[in-house]
Structure 1
Amino acid sequence: MQPSNHPEAVVTPAELEQAAAIIRRGGIVAFPTETYYGLAVDPFNREALSRLFALKRRAPDKPILCLVPDREHLFSLADSIPPSYEPLMEAFWPGPLTLIFTAREEVPVSLTGYSGTVGVRLSSHPVAARLAQIYGGAITATSANFSGHPAAVNAAEVGAQLGPDVDYILDGGETPGGAGSTLVGVENEQLVLRRPGVITRQELNDVLGPERIIAGPEEGN
């Protein structure tokens, strides 16, 4: 593990360039987001994905969420944008809202957890957003932790939990923690809250109209 090291936890352009180069070489980079620290690899590099699953001790049927630098790059992962997503994207992107799309055929099945769908968002965290921009495409953003363990909120927690198997840590200081990104999908043309998070169901329905988003199995009624 090679951490960036500076007293004020300000990520420099050189560090971002180094992190992007490591991702291009198939490496794993930890970076801050608007929720927790995430782990970035090239989502189209199958070897890097295999290493990421092994590092996290993650079950193969669990999909990996991604970040994109802009809406144009969304189409590297997603087959199309459901019309019902448009107002949510306008209201909450960039931000902690992950939307589930039908994945393009070329997207590795391991990234989708063999579901045929992929979760994507634009990050509002300046380091995460800039990393995706400098990399020039989609990156994974799964939480920096062993599956089932608490997600890391700072660089020290990333190093303590995952150790030398992370190739580089962008130390952007403390992240908010508390809740992950809100996860929304479409089932039978109905918007479903697949995972509650920073953005509440009420806030989503304030944009869409009363009860437009129904509770998913993880939220309950």
Structure 2
Amino acid sequence: MPVYKLHYFNLRGRAELARLIMSQAGVEFEDVRFERTEWPALKATMPFGQVPVLEVDGQMLAQSNTISRYLSRKHDLAGKDDWEQALADMYADNINDLMTGMRPAFLEKDADKQKELYEKFMTETVATHVAIVEKQLEKNGTGHLVGKELTWADLAYYGFFSFLVEKFGEDFLKDASHLKSLIALVAELPNIKKWVESRPKTEI
């Protein structure tokens, strides 16, 4: 079994999906976290000067979705064939877009402006996406985004949308029973439940 070390800030952020994948797969990994004040000294040691970075037996792999895709394929969470893998990639890339879309609100220092940006993000970007995905979950008819079994796409949606529920409540899911069910399904997976209960408590 490879020795995994995941390097990231002391946040869920763009590293949490990789953590969820490894946790669900039941593989051990070292969760290497650091504070933002430590980053300038570490930046030059990372490929492309960014994180997350997955260290696999001493070799370094950057880019959050590349890391998660690699781990999902290694541990049977990528989809059963090429088409399912492509669909899982598609959903994971959508979550990446949503995270990018939330970034301006997260970085905003003015409290009133930040609240305004978050409200706009939830009522426009998130609401539109939820409506689309709800129809796709209903069409697939398995309780999963892709195929009949759990993939990293399901973990990606759980990771992001469970965070939104924590932060904003679940009213935005009132017309999305299938997405709510998916989030609940993943939350009750024993390995995911164990990880969530044991991980450091962070705002994001």
Aligning the two structures, in what range does the TM-score lie when normalised by the shorter sequence?
under 0.3
Which one has a larger percent strand, Structure 1 or Structure 2?
Answer: 1
Which one has a larger percent helix, Structure 1 or Structure 2?
Answer: 2
Q: TM-score, normalised by structure 2?
A: 0.26
Q: TM-score, normalised by structure 1?
A: 0.24
